[in-house]
Amino acid sequence: MKETFTPSPRRFVPAILLAACSATASAAAFQNWEQDASSLGLSHAGSAATADSAASLYYNPATMARLDGVQLAVGFTGLRPLIDFDNKGSNGPGLGLGDGGDAGRWLALPNASFTWRLGADLTLGLGVTRPFALDTAYDDGWIGQTQARRSEIRSLNYNPAIAYRVSDKIALGFGLDYQTIDLDFSRAGQRLRGDDGSWGWNAGALFTLSPNMRVGISYRSAIEHKLDGKVNGQTAHANLDLPETAILSVWQQVSEQWEAMGDLSYTRWNRLKRLVFTNRGGPLAAESFAYGNSWRLAWGAAYRVNDRFKFKFGFAWERSPVGNHGRSARLPDANSLRLSFGGQWLLGAYGRIDAGYSYLLTHDAKIAQFRDGSLLRGEYDNAAHIVGVQYSLGF
């Protein structure tokens, strides 16, 4: 739906709320917010309130109530972490040589979403995304080989959803999530593999406070995966509890040319403590996470250059669930700052293209990980490049 701007002194009140929410990152740990390229250039600010394409159903299913007719969005995001370890006194048996090189690998995050308005108030939708992903790999024989070599997590999330417009001011949404996951961890002398498919749900509400302001809230449930897998070839099982996330978003039309967005989100990572593989004989292997909870703040803006092009930019800060005492070589995460920009091109009857880029800078991450009598001590210098493109069409 095209918004019309109605000048009003009240528009300065929402600006105060936006400031309070200002300041997303590729979400902390191995959760990924890059589920659409439309909001990538905004650092995903306003994710639960913007409602400008079918892809927004991932962040808030209630946003589908604002989409007319049939809407389709197909996108792809590539994420390239840069992970460099600097040794500072590692010691113990089994240590290799070298700092492991750049342990980051390209992550491919495709997404596709479809919505269909059935009547004045009811909309159905389906989204396919990859919300959790990890791929790190160190050089063979590196100094931390007893801690980690290769770490891979792949997920695929199928999200059928429904939205109902209660009134001109309120819309509600609900969805189910069927999520598959594959895990493959290796270190010197050990390889852990497992996979599963489990169910979760998501819900949200969208409040249209005026023609120029919307507030969205949403919740995505935890999912408890029961992995069937192997430890060095032996059949084993493990529980992997993935976190729930809550989002509060604000969108505001500040003027004919300017839009502003803000985000505040909270992810309960502390449910993920240990990954223990067992069989009938008892525990076979374990990986420690010891995560805390995380939250993020994001702010973004869009400027309409002309009737066909819109420029976007944003920044974000995220508190990592990984502290100095729980940091591991598999995922040496830390608090992060993101800077983003992007654009939107309208193609008339041929749809719309969105593209974006983010640079993610992670604070210096110190590590002192002890395992099998060996201590990995040092500091990580991390960053990430994120690029995405999306095609949207309505008819």
Q: Which pLDDT band holds residue 296 (cuts at 50, 70, 90)? A: very high
Phi, psi of 49 (to 5 degrees): -130, -15
Q: Residues of 281-294 as b/e, b for ≥16 C-beta within 10 angstroms?
A: eeebbebebbbeeb
Q: Tens digits of per-residue pLDDT, 319-368?
A: 988 877 778 999 898 899 999 999 999 999 999 999 999 999 987 789 99
pLDDT score recorded for residue 322: 86
By CB atoms closer than 10 A (0-12, 13-18, 19+), residue 328 is buried
Look up the pTM and report it.
Answer: 0.90
Q: Name the percent of the chain lying above pLDDT 90.
A: 82
For the residues of 263-279, what is the DSSP string, one character each?
EEEEE-GGG--EEEEEE
pLDDT band for position 15 (cuts 50, 70, 90): very low
Q: How far is 293 from 268, CA to CA, in rounded Å?
A: 5
Task: Indicate the domain borders of the chain.
Answer: 42-394
Distance (Å, rounded) from C-alpha 49 to C-alpha 251? 6
Residue-wise pLDDT tens digits, 182-230: 999 999 999 999 999 999 999 999 999 999 999 999 999 999 999 999 9
Distance CA 124, CA 111 (A): 17
State the CATH architecture for 42-394. Beta Barrel (2.40)
Looking at residues 243-254, what average pLDDT do you find? 97
What would the two tokens of residue 25 be? 């990152």
Q: Is 62 helix (H, G, I), strand (E, B) or coil?
A: helix
Q: For position 170, what pLDDT does the model report?
A: 98
* Residue 11 banded pLDDT, cuts 50, 70, 90: very low
Q: Is the pLDDT of residue 86 over 80?
A: yes
Instruction: Return d(Cα 50, Cα 315) in angstroms, integer.
Output: 16
